Structure 1
Amino acid sequence: MPRANWKGFLKIAELSCPVALYTAASTSDRIAFHTLNRATGHRVRRQYVDSETGKPVESEDQVKGYEIGSDDYVVLEPDEVASAVPASDKTLSIEAFVKSDAFDDVYLDKTYYLSPSDASANEVFDLVREGMQTTQSAALARTVLFRRMRTVLIRPHGKGLIATTLNFDYEVRSAKDAFNSIPAMKISGEMLDLAKHIIGTKKGTFDPEHYDDRYEAALADLVKAKMEGKTIKAPKRAGAGNVVDLMQALRESAGVSAGKTTGGKDRKKPVKKPAAAQKKAS
């Protein structure tokens, strides 16, 4: 059984049950490197130094500071910072139920598995999950997680629930900043038909095992090669080609010869299946 990140109570009105949160996704299995002194081979450690004197500053002499001007700070002592941490009653209190698709994905932060932490909680937990499943609802709850008050989106997931912390509104940037320079264009006719045809030939299902972490696999191969004393040569990177004729590129992608439309009997290029995930070097 994995170790719970948090334990408390799931509460809806007068119903409550003990629950636990478990990390749903982790990067702990990724290859990690240490920073070494090239000359000695020893590990190096980071050290805070005074920006003016260049002298090391020990942990007991370090305090938090909020900059209010150039080199002008409001200093906060550890106990003063601690006073801002909200009190926690370890209760994941559901404030509202919403439609399961009534939220914007940009607000999703980190996802956890939510399950009963005690056998006595199974009946209430199952009742909540089945009620949400039947009504296709998601729940919005509030609790203190890791020293901060967080809003949590709770949804049915198999035999349990998943709880996703949500970004605060001030943390989410406006899409206008990213999309403002995109011109308004009208795509229609053969160009749109070709696009729909290409999408139709590429239909599939998501299988996470088919999508390997190529960088992680390459690192594993690199480490193995170095252990075996092999010489590593940097591969040549091929430059991306420029698309000169969008319509011609669409036709070639769709396997349609010039002059044909997608309403006829078009040639379809075979869809290549994703390569199987590479195994990490042992």
Structure 2
Amino acid sequence: MHTLWKGAISFGLVNVPIKMFAATEEKDIHMKYIHKECGSSLSYVKKCNNCEREVPWEEIAKGYEYEPGHYVIFEKEELERLNTEATKEIKILDFVDLTDIDPIYFQKTYYLSPGDTGSNAYNLLLESLRQTGKIGIATVTLRSKSTLAAIRIVDGCIAMETIFYPDEIRSVKQVPNLPENVQVNDKELTMAKMLIDQLSGPFEPEKYTDEYRAALMEAIEQKIAGKEVKAAPEVQRTNVIDLMSALQASLDAVKPKAEGKGGKTAGKGRGRGKVKETVS
């Protein structure tokens, strides 16, 4: 693994030297923009519409548009001076229960290993978190951006989850057409709960695959081999129009699977991958 960041975790007066590694890796299939006429990839050019020329990096600053067409300009050094917390420190402020944090707050996960020194302090924090069942809420600066983070244990490793600040979470009150008084049919509710029960089981992430990415890779290989790309078969849908019939048909569909496994069954995940379009 490539070391992304070196620093320390601090809680109270305890300092834990660590190295940071990305815990996840992107599996998206990246594509470039291609000029169909000649087959060449397109380059990204920063062009000034006023001067009508390409602008080199040394002539570029950052600006905030406070009203249409009007900006306040900041040099890189000015922004760095504003970030007083830009230290190589993950500062734990509080310890809380993991269940206290709604998943909507989580952003990205990083693994933290002991630094070249201080393995005893690392082990102490790891075991303390394990035995208390707590996670640490910390502040950290990554890539010039201050963020909140949760420090927890993942398979015997201290991990850091960056999390959104509260004012970065949109209120559900902004979502249109939410029901004010939820009312459902009792029979439909009973059948829906039965269907959930039939489809319930332990979380087994290894059985979920990104079907779109697999299909795209197959199409890429077919094109490389000069073959015609085969379209995916259409998903067969039943013509169920009312809710009770849909629930009953769903229960009937999962019962054979449940009986074959001697009980409950878990639904198969259908991942939806993303294709990122980039330019060179």
TM over 0.5: yes
Query: What is the aligned partner in structure 2 of residue 16 from structure 1?
Result: 15
Which amino acid is 1:7 matched to?
K
Q: For residues 61 and 73 of structure 2, what CA distance do their matches in structure 1 show?
A: 7
Which amino acid is 2:28 matched to?
R
1:37 to 1:255, Cα distance in 2 relative to 1, 3 A: closer
Q: For residues 173 and 240 of structure 1, what CA distance do their matches in structure 2 show?
A: 35
Q: For residues 159 and 236 of structure 2, what CA distance do their matches in structure 1 show?
A: 42
CA RMSD of aligned residues (A): 2.8
Query: What is the aligned partner in structure 1 of residue 71 from structure 2?
Result: 73
Q: For residues 54 and 84 of structure 1, what CA distance do their matches in structure 2 show?
A: 33
Q: Is the 8 A contact 2:208 2:268 kept in 1?
A: yes
My pick for the range that moved more, 231-240 or 154-163, is 231-240
Which amino acid is 1:127 matched to?
L
Query: What is the aligned partner in structure 2 of residue 82 from structure 1?
Result: 80
- How far apart are 1:230 and its partner, in Å? 0.9
Percent identical pairs in the alignment equals: 27
Query: What is the aligned partner in structure 1 of residue 101 from structure 2?
Result: 103
Query: What is the aligned partner in structure 1 of residue 165 from structure 2?
Result: 168
Q: Is the 8 A contact 2:80 2:144 kept in 1?
A: no
Q: TM-score, normalised by structure 2?
A: 0.83
Could you give the per-residue CA deviations for residues 189-228 of structure 1, whole angstroms, max 9, x where no partner exists? 3222211211121122222221111121111111110111
Q: Is the 8 A contact 1:144 1:150 kept in 2?
A: yes
Aligned equivalent of 1:270, options 238, 241, 257:
257
Q: For residues 49 and 249 of structure 2, what CA distance do their matches in structure 1 show?
A: 59
Which amino acid is 2:197 matched to?
G
Q: For residues 179 and 105 of structure 1, what CA distance do their matches in structure 2 show?
A: 22
Q: Is the 8 A contact 1:11 1:17 kept in 2?
A: yes
Q: For residues 270 and 45 of structure 2, what CA distance do their matches in structure 1 show?
A: 43
Could you give the per-residue CA deviations for residues 157-190 of structure 1, whole angstroms, max 9, x where no partner exists? 2211111111122211012222652242233532
Which amino acid is 1:41 matched to?
G
Q: For residues 37 and 227 of structure 2, what CA distance do their matches in structure 1 show?
A: 21
Q: For residues 236 and 212 of structure 1, what CA distance do their matches in structure 2 show?
A: 18
Query: What is the aligned partner in structure 2 of residue 260 from structure 1?
Result: none
Number of equivalences? 264
Alignment of 1:254-269 (within 5 A): 254-255=251-252, 268-269=255-256
Alignment of 1:107-186 (within 5 A): 107-118=105-116, 120-178=117-175, 181-186=178-183
1:199 to 1:73, Cα distance in 2 relative to 1, 3 A: same
Unpaired runs of 5+ residues, structure 2, are 259-264, 272-280
Q: For residues 275 and 65 of structure 1, what CA distance do their matches in structure 2 show?
A: 44
My pick for the range that moved more, 268-277 or 4-13, is 268-277
Q: For residues 17 and 206 of structure 2, what CA distance do their matches in structure 1 show?
A: 34
- How far apart are 1:145 and its partner, in Å? 1.8
Larger radius of gyration: 1
Query: What is the aligned partner in structure 2 of residue 231 from structure 1?
Result: 228
Could you give the per-residue CA deviations for residues 14-37 of structure 1, whole angstroms, max 9, x where no partner exists? 22221111111121x432222222
Aligned equivalent of 2:37, options 39, 51, 67:
39
Query: What is the aligned partner in structure 1 of residue 241 from structure 2?
Result: 244
Q: For residues 275 and 245 of structure 1, what CA distance do their matches in structure 2 show?
A: 25
Could you give the per-residue CA deviations for residues 50-102 of structure 1, whole angstroms, max 9, x where no partner exists? 23454322322222221122212222233323332335331212111112211
Unpaired runs of 5+ residues, structure 1, are 257-266, 278-282
Query: What is the aligned partner in structure 2 of residue 261 from structure 1?
Result: none
Q: TM-score, normalised by structure 1?
A: 0.82
Greater relative contact order (Cα 8 A, min sep 6): structure 1 or 2?
A: 2
1:86 to 1:129, Cα distance in 2 relative to 1, 3 A: same
Q: For residues 247 and 231 of structure 2, what CA distance do their matches in structure 1 show?
A: 34
Aligned equivalent of 1:253, options 224, 246, 250:
250
Which amino acid is 1:60 matched to?
E
